[in-house]
């Protein structure tokens, strides 16, 4: 993928329900023996037949030895939640950062900055005897995204919604599986409330947000795939729910093939969570993403967000294309030689032109030297670059200064 030279920092927010975060010993269950998912305003059945999370999600546990782990490509990571003193530790790439203070809800559990640009792993481990709660709410990861151009976001919905009665499958995605496998989810079927058939987010203040329709399957082995190009990063949005299970993702591109396990099971229904994401892409290359349902549980997704940080900006004055001192000197010398050559050609032409138009010898003898006037040649002036030839190269990592944030 992209080497990361000169990339600008950009923050991406990963909620606790992000399917690429791995929880141990389990993702959602009894908080005394593992992790449990909760929402700041609880859960409520809004007609889908399953309790739906209201507010902000977080995972909590009292279990000593419980852990969570995730990977990213970038230079920094920040974890947020709440915990008591000496109840957890954070390890980033094998380096311990022991946190020994109380953290209120939504506070900073720990951070690691100034990492070399590349692939990293963060792991939070719970310590204690089961009497104090540790909760993880979300993480922000600093990735490299673009070179200064305006970031372009493009969202491709799984279903083209031309009208309420004209729903078609977007041709950006390709599906593999039984004929009766993949379909546009009919939320109104068998449910009492969502008569308009839209997935919804119910806000704590009572407002309701309609979400795009989603594609769904319950057949093991079903696959959805798509290609990514002209992109620095992408995010796959979908649903977490009780009847969901493990998925596998195959991500391929130039010099990269990797497999990732997704866990999208949740005791609370949530239609808008990150199922999969990648950053650090080379926008000039093409990548293929294939998501496979590993068993007969549900797999539902609604959109892919493509983030394009833009191409490297090249300017003559700044020589941002990376010209080295030797090349700059060669340009100066070459320019001087070219101008000198032009002067010689001009002199030869002038002499030949003068000779061709000379009067006869007898007439020339009558011409006084003073009649010719002074003969002057313009001096050849060398051209020098206004950029120092010893300009230092940029570091091969993204600054960990936190600029923009992408939470979806």
pLDDT digits 0-9 by tens, 291-308: 999 988 999 999 999 999
Task: Tell me how many degrees the CA angle 244-50-157 measures, rounded to the nearest 5.
Answer: 60
Q: Lowest mean pLDDT of 19-23, 277-281, 374-378, name the range.
A: 374-378
Q: Which residues contact 340 (CB under 8 A, 6 or more apart)?
A: 380
Taking alpha carbons only, the member of 55, 320, 18 closest to residue 141 is: 18
Q: Lowest mean pLDDT of 84-98, 208-222, 319-333, name the range.
A: 319-333
Residue 191 CA to residue 48 CA, distance in Å, equals: 5
**Per-residue pLDDT tens digits for 371-395:** 333 333 333 333 333 333 333 333 3
CB 142 within 8 A of CB 9: yes
Q: Token pair 């001096």 is at which residue?
A: 379
Q: What is the 3-state secondary structure of 218-229?
A: CCCCCEEEEEEE
Q: Is pLDDT above 60 for 30?
A: yes
Q: Is pLDDT above 60 for 320?
A: no
User: What does the pLDDT read at residue 192?
Assistant: 55
CB 309 within 8 A of CB 8: yes
**Per-residue pLDDT tens digits for 333-377:** 444 555 555 566 666 555 555 544 444 433 333 333 333 333 333
CB 322 within 8 A of CB 313: no
User: What does the pLDDT read at residue 18?
Assistant: 99
Q: What is the mean pLDDT of residues 44-72?
A: 95
Query: Is residue 179 very low, low, confident or very high in pLDDT (cuts 50, 70, 90)?
Result: low
Residue 307 CA to residue 290 CA, distance in Å, equals: 19
Tell me if 332 is assigned to some domain: no
CB 176 within 8 A of CB 225: yes
Q: What is the mean pLDDT of residues 15-36?
A: 98
Burial class (CB in 10 A: 0-12, 13-18, 19+), 170: middle
Residue 270 CA to residue 121 CA, distance in Å, equals: 26
Tell me if 309 is assigned to some domain: yes
Relative to beta strand 208-210, strand 43-44 is unpaired
Tell me if 372 is assigned to some domain: no
Tell me if 336 is assigned to some domain: no
Q: Is pTM beyond 0.85 here?
A: no
User: What does the pLDDT read at residue 396?
Assistant: 40
For the chain, the domain total comes to 1
Q: What is the mean pLDDT of residues 99-115?
A: 88
Task: Tell me how many degrees the CA angle 177-182-183 measures, rounded to the nearest 5.
Answer: 160
Question: Which DSSP letter does residue 188 get?
Answer: T
Taking alpha carbons only, the member of 51, 405, 80 closest to residue 202 is: 51
* Percentage with pLDDT > 90 across the chain: 56
User: What does the pLDDT read at residue 189?
Assistant: 56
Q: What is the mean pLDDT of residues 252-257?
A: 95
Q: What is the mean pLDDT of residues 246-259?
A: 97
Q: Lowest mean pLDDT of 23-32, 279-288, 372-381, 392-401, name the range.
A: 372-381
Give Cα 117 to chain centroid, integer Å.
Answer: 13
User: What does the pLDDT read at residue 375?
Assistant: 32
Q: Find the helix or strand (DSSP H, E) in which 97 lies.
A: strand 95-98
User: What integer best gives the mean pLDDT of the chain?
Assistant: 80
Q: What is the mean pLDDT of residues 114-121?
A: 94
Q: Token pair 């151009």 is at which residue?
A: 149
Tell me if 156 is assigned to some domain: yes
Question: 3-class DSSP state for residue 350?
Answer: helix
Query: Is residue 318 very low, low, confident or very high in pLDDT (cuts 50, 70, 90)?
Result: very low
Burial 173-192 (b: 16+ CB within 10 A, else e): beeebeeebbebbebeeebe
Which contacts (CB < 8 Å, 24+ apart) does range 148-151 have? 148/8, 148/310, 148/313, 149/309, 149/310, 149/311, 149/313, 150/310, 151/10, 151/307, 151/308, 151/309, 151/310, 151/404
Query: Is residue 328 very low, low, confident or very high in pLDDT (cuts 50, 70, 90)?
Result: very low
Q: Lowest mean pLDDT of 120-129, 193-202, 277-286, name the range.
A: 193-202
**Per-residue pLDDT tens digits for 136-149:** 999 999 999 888 77
Domain harbouring 122, CATH code: 2.60.120.260
For residue 197, give its domain range. 9-315+398-406
Tell me if 382 is assigned to some domain: no
Tell me if 206 is assigned to some domain: yes
Tell me if 79 is assigned to some domain: yes
């Amino acid at each position: 993928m992209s080497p990361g030279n000169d990339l600008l920092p950009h923050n991406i927010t990963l909620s606790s329900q992000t399917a690429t975060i791995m929880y141990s010993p389990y993702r959602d269950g009894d908080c005394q023996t593992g992790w449990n998912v909760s929402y700041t305003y609880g859960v409520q059945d809004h007609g889908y037949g399953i309790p739906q999370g209201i507010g902000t999600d977080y995972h909590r546990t009292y279990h000593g030895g419980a852990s969570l782990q995730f990977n990213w490509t970038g230079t920094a990571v920040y974890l947020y939640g709440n915990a008591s003193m000496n109840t957890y530790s954070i390890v980033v790439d094998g380096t311990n950062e022991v946190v020994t203070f109380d953290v209120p809800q939504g506070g900073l559990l720990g951070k690691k900055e100034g990492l070399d640009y590349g692939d990293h792993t963060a792991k939070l481990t719970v310590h204690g005897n089961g009497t104090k709660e540790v909760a993880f709410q979300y993480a922000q990861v600093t990735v490299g995204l673009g070179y200064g151009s305006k970031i372009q976001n493009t969202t491709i919905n799984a279903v083209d919604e031309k009208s309420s009665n004209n729903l078609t499958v977007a041709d950006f995605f390709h599906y593999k599986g039984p004929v009766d496998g993949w379909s546009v989810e009919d939320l109104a079927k068998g449910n009492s409330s969502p008569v308009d058939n839209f997935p919804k987010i119910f806000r704590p203040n009572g407002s309701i947000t309609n979400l795009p329709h989603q594609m769904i399957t319950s057949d093991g082995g079903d696959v959805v795939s798509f290609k990514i190009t002209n992109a620095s990063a992408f995010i796959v949005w979908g649903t977490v729910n009780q009847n969901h299970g493990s998925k596998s993702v195959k991500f391929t591109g130039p010099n990269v093939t990797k497999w990732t396990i997704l866990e999208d099971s949740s005791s609370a229904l949530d239609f808008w969570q990150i199922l999969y994401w990648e950053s650090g892409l080379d926008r000039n290359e093409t990548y293929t993403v294939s998501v496979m349902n590993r068993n007969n549980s549900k797999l539902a997704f609604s959109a892919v967000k493509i983030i394009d940080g833009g191409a490297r900006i090249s300017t003559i004055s700044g020589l941002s294309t990376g010209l080295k001192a030797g090349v700059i000197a060669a340009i100066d010398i070459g320019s001087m030689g070219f101008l000198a050559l032009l002067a010689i050609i001009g002199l030869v032409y002038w002499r030949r032109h003068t000779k061709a138009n000379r009067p006869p010898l007898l007439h020339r003898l009558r011409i006084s030297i003073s009649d010719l006037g002074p003969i002057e040649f313009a001096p050849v002036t060398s051209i020098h670059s206004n950029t120092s030839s010893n300009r230092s190269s940029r570091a091969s990592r993204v600054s960990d200064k936190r600029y923009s944030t992408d939470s979806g």
